[in-house]
Amino acid sequence: MEVLYENLLSIDPLQLVMWIIGGILIFLAIKKEMEPTLLLPMGFGAILVNLPNSGAVETLETLFNAGIANELFPLILFIGIGAMIDFGPLLSNPKLMIFGAAAQFGIFFTLCFASMFFDIKDAASIAIIGAADGPTSIVVAQALESNYLGAIMVAAYSYMALVPIIQPPVIKLLTTKKERMIRMEYTQKEVSKTTKILFPIIITAIAGLVAPDSVALVGFLMFGNLIRECGVLNSLSETAQKSLANIVTIFLGITISLRMEASEFLRPETLLILALGLVAFIVDTAGGVIFAKILNIFLKKKINPMIGAAGISAFPMSGRVVHKMGLKEDPQNFLLMHSIGVNVSGQIASVIAGGLILNFFM
């Protein structure tokens, strides 16, 4: 009984705030179905580590050192993500890759802006939130030894989950109804098995030459895709896509919560990081849309500029958001294959952008 009273008296008001934040994450995961495999363990973990004298902190510290400090969890997760991705739409229309590159503008814009408030390595770590790629954000922030790893991880994954809320207003602001109704024909082109097998190998080699520090990220992503496309490891591919990815995501989410202790998380810098992450996300979305609009000035066959927004890395959510927006404007406007093609190119581009950041600031 004495221990109970002692613990009740030890509750810090800031811990109560973290309980509320954890509850919000759980609500979003269950009620809104926003990345439940990630936000649910993050939310529960936020409550767990903010209980007075929580004995879970030491256990999570061990898990953190075993899976995040050495970048193991993000890299394994990339194998699962790679196994999920079908590069067919991109390979049948390779020019879509330029939209993936254009949608990374927010990273470098935010880097310049964040450097006004933070040390350059912290600024670089914050900027990569704009990649909309949680594993890349973790790897970059960890490699650059950022002092704000917890806030960066939470921002990166939270904004990924909020893609359906953040992107539509930005897209609508930058496009007219006429532009959103532009139809894009999709012609199914046969992509040979050899091409699909060679693609991840070639991309890994090119990334290694352009941004050597991205090789681990790109390599694990492409290895997962090679498992998918080789045709002789179907059961392994299915395991990587489902069981492996889900298990690692759960461990990743609850381990991230270690950096959500009130004393470390609730400080003015956290709010600034969340704001800068949102800026990066918005500018990335806007960059892809504006780039498509500029291209339309020179093209006879117009592109629906909404697909440029899918160039962020949040796969496949961003591609689906664009497709749904197209259907809302015109029930016969099917943009899914185009937007998914841009979306997977954004996945590659964001990883390479993370590698470039590491090359510059390691």
Handedness of CA 199, 203, 204, 205 (dihedral sign): positive
**Region 41-64: what's the mean pLDDT?**
89
**Mean pLDDT across the chain:** 88
Q: Is the peptide bond before 305 cis (omega within 30 degrees of 0)?
A: no
Q: Confidence class of residue 18 from pLDDT cuts 50, 70 and 90?
A: very high
pLDDT grade, residue 27 (50/70/90)? very high
The structure tokens 């929580």 sit at: 54
126-152 pLDDT, tens digit each: 998 887 778 888 889 888 988 888 788
pLDDT of residue 3: 53
Task: For residue range 234-278, list pLDDT tens digits in order.
Answer: 999 999 999 999 999 899 889 988 888 888 888 889 889 989 989
* Per-residue pLDDT, 163: 86
| Residue 105: per-residue pLDDT | 84
- Average pLDDT on 316-326 reads 88
pLDDT at 219: 93
- Count of other CB atoms within 10 angstroms of residue 59: 12
- Residue 1 above 60 pLDDT? no
Tell me the pLDDT band of 8, cut-offs 50, 70 and 90.
low
Q: Tell me the pTM.
A: 0.87
pLDDT(76) > 70: yes
pLDDT band at 306 (very low <50, low <70, confident <90, very high): very high
- pLDDT exceeds 90 at position 122: yes
Give the Cα separation of 268 and 79 in Å (integer).
36
Q: At CB < 8 A and 24+ separation, what contacts does 36-40 make? A: 37/246, 37/249, 37/250, 37/253, 38/134, 38/157, 38/161, 38/249, 38/250, 38/252, 38/253, 39/157, 39/158, 39/161, 39/253, 40/253
Q: Rounded mean pLDDT of 344-355? A: 87
Burial classification of residue 82, based on how many CB atoms lie within 10 Å of its CB (0-12 exposed, 13-18 middle, 19 or more buried): buried
Q: 290, 337, 335, 281: which is closest to 312 by C-alpha?
A: 281
Q: How far apart are CA 254 and CA 236, in angstroms?
A: 25
Of the pLDDT bands very low, low, confident and very high (cuts 50, 70, 90), residue 359 is confident
Percent of the chain with pLDDT over 90: 39
Tell me how far apart the alpha carbons of residues 283 and 308 are, in angstroms, rounded to a whole number: 12
Instruction: Using the predicted structure, report yes or no on whether residue 199 has a pLDDT greater than 90.
Output: yes
Alpha carbon distance 281, 110 (integer Å): 9
Q: Which pLDDT does position 247 carry in this prediction?
A: 92
CB atoms within 10 A of CB 270: 18
pLDDT, tens digit (0-9, with 9 covering 90-100), for 148-187? 887 888 888 778 777 888 899 999 999 999 999 998 887 7
End-to-end CA distance of the chain: 52
Altogether, the residues listed in the chain come to a count of 362
